Amino acid sequence: MKSLLLPALMVALAFVSNAHSALDFEVTPESRANWLNEDKFGMFIHWGLYAEPARGEWVMCTEKIPVEKYKLLAAKFNPIKFDAKEWVRIVKDAGMKYIVITSKHHDGFALFDSQASDYNLVKASPFQRDAIQELKDACDLAGIKLGLYYSQAKDWYHKGGEPLYDWKEQCTPEDRQHYLDTIALPQVKEIASKYRPSLIWFDTPQMMTPEIARKFSDTVRSVSPDTLINSRLLRSGASIVGLSREERDELRDVGIDYLSFRDREIPEASPWPYWETCMTLNDSWGYTANDHSWKTPQRVVQQLLEVVSKGGTFLLNVGPTAEGEIPSPSIDTLKKTGEWLQVNGEAVYGAQPTKFKTTGTPSKEFLAKKAEMEKKAAETGSVGGHLRLELDYAWIATGKGKKIFITLFDWPAEDFQLENFDSEIKECYLLSDPQSKLQATLENQKLSVKFPSRPAGDMPSVLCLKLTDCP
């Protein structure tokens, strides 16, 4: 961590009522989505035939690979190093509580044994194993929840799953209905009934209507009533922030449990008490051989805390290889994140927003990428793509019960000071050393805490303020 060259870290806290000040509805003990607000951290897994060319999960579309050519990948897809128990061990070591894996992505290839289509890992590949069943068994043994991603409305393999079949043939409304009736709805019923997932993560809802969405949610509820359904059944992640109250009510009416915000974006706030954002560990979802832009453990912890401090849940992606291995740089970062959570998890699991809020600044990595994109745009005359904002924070606050946690990303050179602090402190210590109490004084709603001269390591430290009463 950096050491601030200021005589004291003076932080002006924005005194907000809380991050849930304008909720569409309130949390109830009976809500099936409550576990999201307890678990807070999950692993997203993008894995399928696209791992073979190793150019990302959209390679079939971006390169307009014909169906007959792309499906040849299935004949060589033989991930003999896939070990479901090892994947779950990595998840547990990372401090993650649930998994979401692509049971079928946009390329139409399923990782489970489907009766609706033979285009799956069991019937169309030399592997001939049901990876979802193996992962389900391993998750059950380890106490990890399993969620299944399913691309319900975009399918480049099955006719009717895309407006242009095989990139050339215009599909009719009858083709679309046939796809829904014979592929998408039957496969959703298969995965819901066979694996009873904790959630189904729908995606890319092109040409979806409330009536069609209701058919999917009714199908899920008929066989697995406790399975959560995300908002991308009906609305894209990019549209969530701008939805009206009426449009969000429509989501609830069709059976949505939680909001999925835009890929790689952390919203300022959410109108729902249950929401999630997904992030990549590098710049890719599916395995991409030439992508080495790995996030550091410090960056992962900071983004996790940013999400938790705003009331959300963080879904962090890995893209296994065609052999079935999670890339070692991913494992290294996840392992160090998990080690940090073993000590400081109290600031994350079940933690909620506090009334204290600070403002982040664009990270150096973000500014470098932005400059590179602008340079390329100037050279080529192109507009450039959408770059997700990435912020740095000096600290982030979360709370649970009678405790407030301040996760420090910049180590204070002298006293750490918080203003607008109006609670009586019973104890003050670092979660990494709870026996060593820190000296804290409170005067005129200004809290001052004396810190050691330097942090114990390179990972963020967490200050725990134990209060006499709930704030």
- List pLDDT tens digits, range 383-442: 555 677 889 999 999 999 999 999 999 999 888 999 889 999 999 999 999 999 999 999
Region of residue 245 (left: phi > 0; alpha: psi -120 to 50; beta: else): alpha
The tokens describing 283, both together, are 């710049």
Residue 6: what residue type? Answer: L
CA distance 470 to 464: 14
**Confidence at residue 453, expressed as pLDDT on a 0 to 100 scale:** 86
CA distance 167 to 67: 9
pLDDT in tens, 432-469: 999 999 999 999 999 999 998 889 899 999 999 999 88
CA distance 274 to 261: 11
Q: What is the pTM of this model?
A: 0.93
**Confidence at residue 414, expressed as pLDDT on a 0 to 100 scale:** 84
**Confidence at residue 21, expressed as pLDDT on a 0 to 100 scale:** 52
pLDDT at 52 over 50: yes
Tell me which residue of 96, 286, 321, 112 sits closest to 200, measured CA to CA: 112
- Which residues does 127 contact at the CB level (< 8 Å), separation at least 6? 77, 78, 79, 80, 82, 121
CA distance 42 to 44: 7
**Confidence at residue 383, expressed as pLDDT on a 0 to 100 scale:** 52
**Confidence at residue 53, expressed as pLDDT on a 0 to 100 scale:** 98
Three-class SS state of 270 = coil
pLDDT at 79 over 90: yes
pLDDT at 10 over 50: no
Question: What's the distance, CA 280 to chain centroid?
Answer: 8
**Confidence at residue 371, expressed as pLDDT on a 0 to 100 scale:** 76
CA distance 94 to 297: 10
Of the listed ranges 55-69, 261-275, 374-388, the least confidently predicted one is 374-388
Per-residue pLDDT band at 363 (split at 50, 70, 90): confident
Beta bridge pairs of residue 425: 467
What domains, with CATH codes, occur in the chain?
Answer: 2-17+393-467 (2.60.40.1180), 34-347 (3.20.20.80)
pLDDT in tens, 276-322: 999 999 999 999 999 999 999 999 999 999 999 999 999 999 999 99
**Confidence at residue 370, expressed as pLDDT on a 0 to 100 scale:** 74
CA distance 465 to 445: 14
Of the listed ranges 2-11, 55-64, 412-421, the least confidently predicted one is 2-11
pLDDT in tens, 235-246: 999 999 989 999
**Confidence at residue 7, expressed as pLDDT on a 0 to 100 scale:** 31
Is 85 exposed, middle or buried (CB count within 10 Å of its CB: 0-12, 13-18, 19+)?
Answer: middle
pLDDT in tens, 193-221: 999 999 999 999 999 999 999 999 999 99
CA distance 153 to 184: 8
**Confidence at residue 358, expressed as pLDDT on a 0 to 100 scale:** 83
**Confidence at residue 379, expressed as pLDDT on a 0 to 100 scale:** 63
**Confidence at residue 4, expressed as pLDDT on a 0 to 100 scale:** 36
pLDDT at 149 over 50: yes
Tell me which residue of 217, 291, 263, 230 sits closest to 386, measured CA to CA: 263
